[in-house]
Amino acid sequence: MTTVATPPITTAKLLSRHEVAEGTMAFRFERPANWAFKAGQYLDMTLLYPPETDSEGNVRSFSIASGPHEETLMVATRMRDTAFKRVLRTMPLGTAVKIDGPSGDLTLQDSFTRASVFLAGGIGITPFRSMICLAAAERLRHQIFLFYSNRRPEDAPFLDELQSLERDNPKYKLIPSMTEMAKSRRSWSGETGFINQEMLGRYLRGAASPHYYVAGPPAMVKGLHEMLNRAGMNDDDIRTEEFAGY
């Protein structure tokens, strides 16, 4: 009789968690040995033996928010009231989860001759944080523009860090825009309103044949993709990642 060997599963232990915006948390996990990925890719996370579950199950996809140059793996998510996220919020440090992947091709092109234009809505920032941190750490030659839309600064994950990275990397420009400042307690002197053709045009004048990357909730990704097409961008120059589940 032949026996079929079950492939070993890859697990990672939770190291820490912290808030990165109102209602949004980042989770750092131990990085399994030899677990390589490209900035911008995602993983599938499965809770092992969770104390509770619901009809949505124990698996979620998360873009990897940390860079490949970092020692640990980080994911970040909006903390909605689902069994998966309640467990993630409360499980003891040291708890292991199963990870599968990496997957996805929302990754930086090798060529740095074209400008990379990132369009992020809210939690869609995660793959871009990975790429922007890598670009600064490894002094990549890519010219990067990040258009980052949120309702309020309070809702914008990693905003301070993304602002300070501009000082480390002169080839990276952040354009954050807020759509509901009337509901904010903070002051704001930056852009307001949704990312649109006019806003892109003002910042991308002179950018070398831009390549667009869009990530976030499906409705937002669809809207921005259509806007880019209306502005004359070809689908060959647009990569998208829809965060199915939002």
Ligand X SMILES: Cc1cc2nc3c(=O)[nH]c(=O)nc-3n(C[C@H](O)[C@H](O)[C@H](O)COP(=O)(O)OP(=O)(O)OC[C@H]3O[C@@H](n4cnc5c(N)ncnc54)[C@H](O)[C@@H]3O)c2cc1C
Work out how close the CB of 234 gets to ligand X at its nearest, in angstroms, rounded to a whole number: 23
- Read off φ and ψ for residue 153, nearest 5 degrees: -55, -35
Work out how close the CB of 20 gets to ligand X at its nearest, in angstroms, rounded to a whole number: 11
Residue nearest ligand X (C-beta atom):
245
DSSP structure class, residue 158: T
Work out how close the CB of 15 gets to ligand X at its nearest, in angstroms, rounded to a whole number: 18
- Read off φ and ψ for residue 237, nearest 5 degrees: -105, 15
- Residue 68 CB neighbours (<10 A): 21
Residue among 79 and 207 whose Cβ is closer to ligand X:
79
Work out how close the CB of 192 gets to ligand X at its nearest, in angstroms, rounded to a whole number: 24
Residue among 86 and 114 whose Cβ is closer to ligand X:
86
Residue among 80 and 202 whose Cβ is closer to ligand X:
80
- Give buried/exposed letters for 136-152 (b at 16+ CB in 10 A, else e): beeebebbbbbbbbbbb
Length of the chain in terms of residues written: 246
Judged by the rule CB under 6 A, the positions of this chain that interact with ligand X are: 42, 56-57, 60-63, 75-78, 80, 82, 84-85, 104, 123, 126, 241, 243-246
- Exposed, middle or buried, 195 (CB in 10 Å: 0-12/13-18/19+)? buried
Residue among 75 and 99 whose Cβ is closer to ligand X:
75
Q: How many whole angstroms separate alpha carbon 38 and alpha carbon 138?
A: 13
Which among 141, 197, 148, 151 is positioned nearest to 174, based on CA atoms? Answer: 148
Q: How many whole angstroms separate alpha carbon 221 and alpha carbon 225?
A: 6
DSSP structure class, residue 1: -
Strands 191-192 and 116-121: unpaired
Residue among 51 and 201 whose Cβ is closer to ligand X:
51
Residue among 91 and 200 whose Cβ is closer to ligand X:
91
Work out how close the CB of 78 gets to ligand X at its nearest, in angstroms, rounded to a whole number: 5
Work out how close the CB of 173 gets to ligand X at its nearest, in angstroms, rounded to a whole number: 23
